[in-house]
Amino acid sequence: MLHQFFKSLAWLEPVVELVRLGVFLAFLLLLAAQRLAQTEAARIRRVRTLAGFCVIVTTAVGITQIDAWPFTNWALVHGLRSPVMHSYEIEGIDAAGKIWPVDKAVLQPMAAEEIAAPLGLVPTLSHQEQQEVARWLYDRTERGRRMVAAGERFPPNDKFLGPLAAPYHFETARRWKSRSDVPQTPFAGVRLVFTTWNIDERDRRGDAAIERRVVTEYRPHD
């Protein structure tokens, strides 16, 4: 309610931005003051001041539902979670028919979670359209395989800074860390697999609780 009321007041927007800036600068100053305290007593007083400031701002953010970074209402994750989770995997198929899990870093510079929603629409596409999507996945996968097989730095975003490169919001498991993680010959195909599991069931049974469904498969020589 309050959030919608404040949003209706257009003239208030620049004021809110200035308040946000002030909150952030005050937060930095209180942090610096705590670090620069000369005595233990002074440090305790400044820590208490910082804690009080955080409580007050967090309460204000909670009441108004207006973020003031780094203080946030985390609206993105409000609500009850579903016990059922959904994800996807990309799998490469070598000439002998062996299945290789594909490192989702082949999708860079796109993040794995960003492309999850578009890939979720693949079952609604025609067969030809599904093949176009799968061919795109194959091209990305094969390019990544060649890089890893040749000993080049992978993934591409880490080319210059390596482990110091900026991480993505949600990191996925790195599956291609050495040449042994990929076949030395081109993939014969690639497939998109949807996975579903119940969180509690997976806690009990591990990966055996994951249900898998192959959505589409692409083989360049078929």
pLDDT of amino acid 164 = 75
Angstrom distance (rounded) from CA 56 to CA 44? 18
Q: Which two tokens stand for residue 107?
A: 């999708």
Two structure tokens written together for 111: 């993040």
Task: Tell me the C-alpha to C-alpha distance, in Å, between residue 29 and each of 32, 142, 208.
Answer: 5, 50, 51
Does position 3 have pLDDT exceeding 60, yes or no?
Answer: no
Q: What pTM, to 2 d.p., does this model score?
A: 0.65
2, pLDDT greater than 60: no
125-164 confidence digits (pLDDT tens): 999 999 999 999 999 999 999 999 998 888 877 777 777 7
**What's the pLDDT band for 218 if we cut at 50, 70, 90?**
very high
What confidence tens digit (pLDDT) does each residue in 187-199 have? 999 999 999 999 9
Going by the DSSP 8-state scheme, the letter that residue 89 receives in this structure is E
Nearest to 87 by CA among 193, 181, 180: 193
pLDDT at 71: 80
Q: Give whole-number Cα distances, 62 to 3, 58, 65, in Å.
A: 10, 6, 5
More confident: 67 or 219? 219
Angle at 103 between CA 169 and CA 220, to 5 degrees: 130
111-124: pLDDT as tens digits = 888 899 899 999 99
* 205-217 average pLDDT score: 94
* 222 — pLDDT class (breaks 50, 70, 90): low
d(CA 184, CA 101): 15
